């Protein structure tokens, strides 16, 4: 039977597909249990998870399925675009303070980005487990997983928060010799230290909500926070509207206040709406179980390490690019935002894939999971090729936006965009297959091994060789950035076809508290 089954027929027309972005007025309506509320929000009935699948039980050919994919993918893509644009706005607004301020905020942003990668890894472990437990109709375990992840993520972030808040001037001076940059960076990090804790909690709640199909709440809260951040930047950096001109400190306060508002908004929505993720003390007490923790840690630790390996490797690529010359840095300054915007949609598709495949595997519907993989694989490849063709054709228009570039740099950017258009589909397809397929089945150790080997044993050594020893031209250096994606393409494809990633992570016996849904 289709994912949307007859158990929803009693719901009045117009409410079958209530989406997760509908807030308090809908959320306060009475449903019998949190699981019932979860089912209606996401337009999916858990009653189907143990059904015997038919030839088209995933409903790949109906309109409701496509709407469900769009509801899972587009809000995540929009949030990624929003974050990219907000990053650009911060750089532009701080740019008015001069190069020292730009360097300080840029250094602080790089340090926080590395920790954000770690946060994302912790959130990813939560997301995969919640998606599978929801597919197994075990909402109690979803709640316990969220509680455990919140405690674990907070414990991980507390030492970094203390280091940023009280010791930043000491250790920042070890990585930057300029005393002015050190002073401004330390000021920014001290003010935004609590951002680390608040962001970790936000990331975990967003991961859990998205795994249930609720992509609207994270998007709306992020949009409100982004608008507030820009407004506060305008008021506090330059002293507009009667506020004091705080400079870099003003940008830090804007970041802190906007993050606190975002966290407050998510918590208010969760608790005031009566959502099942409005955790109580009993949920945290149930999570304080050694067996539960070790099972979670053994599952999540490869994902967390994988994110750190990727983050450090990505930062190393960009640091080494600086040795290729000023023109190379100028071109990468344009390519990186374009790449971020390009990836936004495909990260959304990877999220939709991970949620839907995870639910299918959690419900022991492996045939559905395989059909979903083939669907998302073909869709991603088709869209990537279409977008790549558009970028290739529009290269003169893209370069024309940056009319202050000299002729040589503009020509270099044109050629770089050509390489980008020809090869980006490999990177995008790998991303979908790893984040949206292999991780959905908990194949985390293979993903960690693959990323570690191709990044640190193949990709980066060849990149170092080309940049520092062979002094290759920038186009050849940029081409080397795709070597690791080419190296992992076939192993990842073979791994998927072997179907060893099709694991039901919910079948191992749990403590007696694993009862289905309540509270």
pLDDT for 56: 43
Alpha carbons 421 and 425: distance in angstroms, whole number: 8
Give pTM, 2 decimals: 0.77
The counts of H helices and E strands in the chain are: 20, 0
pLDDT tens string 479-509: 999 999 999 999 999 999 999 999 998 876 4
Domain positions in the chain are: 69-288, 325-504
Cβ atoms of residues 348 and 80 within 8 Å = yes
Residue 46 pLDDT grade (very low, low, confident, very high; cuts 50, 70, 90): very low
Q: Which residue has the tokens 């495909």?
A: 346
pLDDT tens string 206-255: 999 999 989 899 999 999 999 999 999 999 998 998 999 999 999 999 99
Phi, psi (rounded to 5 degrees) for 19: -95, 160
CA 58 to chain centre: 25
Q: What is the mean pLDDT of residues 417-445?
A: 92
Higher pLDDT, 509 or 264: 264
128 C-beta neighbours (distance < 10 Å), count: 27
pLDDT for 198: 95
pLDDT over threshold 80, residue 149: yes
pLDDT for 147: 96
Q: What is the mean pLDDT of residues 95-118?
A: 81
CA 169 to chain centre: 30
pLDDT tens string 309-348: 888 888 788 778 777 776 776 777 777 777 777 788 788 8
pLDDT over threshold 70, residue 159: yes
pLDDT for 326: 66
Cβ atoms of residues 318 and 332 within 8 Å = yes
136 C-beta neighbours (distance < 10 Å), count: 24
Higher pLDDT, 511 or 212: 212
pLDDT for 188: 92
Q: Which residue has the tokens 């890894």?
A: 121
Alpha carbons 447 and 303: distance in angstroms, whole number: 8
pLDDT over threshold 90, residue 142: yes
DSSP codes joined into one string, 363-410: TT-HHHHHHHHHHHHHHHHHHHHHHHHHHHHTHHHHHHH-TTS-HHHH
Q: Which residue has the tokens 């705080």?
A: 246
pLDDT tens string 23-37: 334 444 433 344 444
Tokens found for residue 7: 């158990």
Angle at CA 14, nearest 5°, toward 5 and 128?
A: 50
Higher pLDDT, 57 or 464: 464
Q: What is the mean pLDDT of residues 403-421?
A: 84
Phi, psi (rounded to 5 degrees) for 311: -60, -45
């Amino acid at each position: 039977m289709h994912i949307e089954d007859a158990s929803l027929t009693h719901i009045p027309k117009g409410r079958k597909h209530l989406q997760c972005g509908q807030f308090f007025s809908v959320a306060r309506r009475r449903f019998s249990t949190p699981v019932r509320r979860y089912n209606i929000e996401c337009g999916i009935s858990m009653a189907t998870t143990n059904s015997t699948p038919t030839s088209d039980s995933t409903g790949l050919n109906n309109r409701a399925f496509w709407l469900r994919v769009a509801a899972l993918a587009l809000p995540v893509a929009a949030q990624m675009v929003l974050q990219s644009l907000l990053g650009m706005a911060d750089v532009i607004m701080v740019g008015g303070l001069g190069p020292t301020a730009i360097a300080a905020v840029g250094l602080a942003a790089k340090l926080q980005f590395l920790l954000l990668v770690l946060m994302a890894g912790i959130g990813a472990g939560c997301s995969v487990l919640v998606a599978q437990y929801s597919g197994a109709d075990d909402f109690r375990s979803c709640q316990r997983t969220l509680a455990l992840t919140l405690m674990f993520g907070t414990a991980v972030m507390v030492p970094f928060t203390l280091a940023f808040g009280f010791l930043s001037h000491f250790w920042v001076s070890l990585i930057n010799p300029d005393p002015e940059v050190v002073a401004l960076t330390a000021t920014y990090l001290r003010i935004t230290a609590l951002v680390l804790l608040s962001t970790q909690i936000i990331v975990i709640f967003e991961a859990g909500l998205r795994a249930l199909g609720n992509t609207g709440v994270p998007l709306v809260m992020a949009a409100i926070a982004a608008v507030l951040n820009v407004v506060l930047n305008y008021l506090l950096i330059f002293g507009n509207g009667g506020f004091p001109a705080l400079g870099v400190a003003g940008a830090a306060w804007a970041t802190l206040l906007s993050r606190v508002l975002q966290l407050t908004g998510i918590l208010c929505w969760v608790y005031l709406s009566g959502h099942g993720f409005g955790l109580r003390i009993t949920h945290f007490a149930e999570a304080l179980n050694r067996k539960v923790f070790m099972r979670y840690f053994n599952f999540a630790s490869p994902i967390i390490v994988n994110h750190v390996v990727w983050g450090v490797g990505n930062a190393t690529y960009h640091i080494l690019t600086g040795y290729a010359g000023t023109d190379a840095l100028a071109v990468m300054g344009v390519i990186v935002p374009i790449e971020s915007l390009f990836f936004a949609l495909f990260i959304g598709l990877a999220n939709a894939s991970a949620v839907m495949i995870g639910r299918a595997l959690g419900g022991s519907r492996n045939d559905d999971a395989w059909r979903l993989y083939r669907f998302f694989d073909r869709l991603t490849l088709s869209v990537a090729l279409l977008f790549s063709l558009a970028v290739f054709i529009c290269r003169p228009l893209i370069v024309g936006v940056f009319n202050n570039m000299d002729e040589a740099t503009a020509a270099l950017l044109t050629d770089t965009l050509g390489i980008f258009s020809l090869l980006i589909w490999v990177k995008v397809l790998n991303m979908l297959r790893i984040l949206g397929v292999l991780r959905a089945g908990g194949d985390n150790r293979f993903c960690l091994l693959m990323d570690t080997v191709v990044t640190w044993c193949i990709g980066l050594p060849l990149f170092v060789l080309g940049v520092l020893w062979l002094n290759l031209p920038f186009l050849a250096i940029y081409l080397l950035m795709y070597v690791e994606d080419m190296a992992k393409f076939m192993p990842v494809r073979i791994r998927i076809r072997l179907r060893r990633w099709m694991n039901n992570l919910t079948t191992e016996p749990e403590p007696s508290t694993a009862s289905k849904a309540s509270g």
